[in-house]
Amino acid sequence: MREITWSTAVNEAIAEEMRNDKTIILMGEDVAEAGTPISEPGFVGMAVGAAMTGTRPIVDLMFGDFIFLVMDQLANQAAKQHYMSGGKLNVPMVIRTNMGATRRSAAQHSQSLQAIVAHIPGVKVLMPSTPYEVKGLLKAAIRDDNPVVIFEDKLSYQMKGMVPEEEYIIPLGQANILQAGNDITLVATSSMVQVCEEAAEVLRSKNISAEIIDVRSIVPLDEQTIVDSVKKTSRVIVVDEGHQSYGITSEIVSRISEQAFYYLDAPPTRMGAMDVPIPFSPVLEDLTVPTSKQVVAKAIDLINNNF
């Protein structure tokens, strides 16, 4: 094990896979040389065609907000080819992009759009939380025969973490229990994992034992790990940086309600970003996303039956 940054982990994953598989290609703005034309629909369109004819493209979208520009290629072409061809065609393509507010990038470059992509049948969606996670998940995504979109938090690229020197893969659809607990379950994605870890520390000082689950993979979703934890603790908060309405948190809470309703001692609770465009003002922007302080307050309310 050695400590490396998120960026290094990503570079290692891509380099290792490209050395092992000559069909892997990388494309995107300023890949290899600055000055590449800004044409996200072009990159993804080429990647879909290339994937259908024997390569494994990795496309780098500079901002997750540009997902809207490639939606036809992603939703109508990549996601549907396997089904429309009766299983004869695959689109083994990876789109790397980012997400997250509190980065001072304003309304058009700060969105967390994972729920929109997760709504498309045929596309897998990943949300790593650490350098270890991003390397293992990215390698698995590159080897997968389906289109995969991996969302990386903008502030994570200089994050450092312990990563094995030897090769490893994190299977898609396998959540990670970061911390065992008995009083409440905190289910989190991406940078909200760190928010929940901070909250759990505070809760521990108040003699509240929180179990933390890093979802890792939104599609496919490891329902069993989440449901089993909620059955044990009887209380749950689901935290994601996407907008709260119609989002990832709503979907996970719905599945908990369907499968663990009679085990709950409090309403399953969701926490997401405010339903507003991300402000440019730093003071206002910081108010839009969940914080560890808010998670602590909500957890105490649920423990004390204040709902």
How far is residue 161's CA from residue 214's CA, in Å, rounded to a whole number?
Answer: 16
How would you classify residue 209: left for phi > 0, otherwise alpha for psi between -120 and 50, otherwise beta?
A: beta
**Crossing angle of helices 292-303/192-205, nearest 10°?**
50
- Active-site hit among 17, 29, 40, 152: 40
- Active-site hit among 16, 109, 198, 223: 109
The question of whether 82 is a catalytic residue gets the answer no
SS (H, E, C) the chain: CEEEEHHHHHHHHHHHHHHHCCCEEEEECCCCCCCCCCCHHHHHHHHHHHHHCCCEEEEECCCHHHHHHHHHHHHHHHCCHHHHCCCCCCCCCEEEEEECCCCCCCCCCCCCCHHHHHCCCCCEEECCCCHHHHHHHHHHHHHCCCCEEEEEEHHHCCCEEEECCCCCCCCCCCCEEEECCCCEEEEECCCHHHHHHHHHHHHHHCCCCEEEEECCEEECCCHHHHHHHHHHHCCEEEEEEEECCCCHHHHHHHHHHHHHHHHCCCCCEEEEECCCCCCCCHHHHHCCCCCHHHHHHHHHHHHCCCC
Contact at 8 Å (CB) between 210 and 178?
Answer: no
The question of whether 133 is a catalytic residue gets the answer no
| Residues known to be catalytic | 40, 109
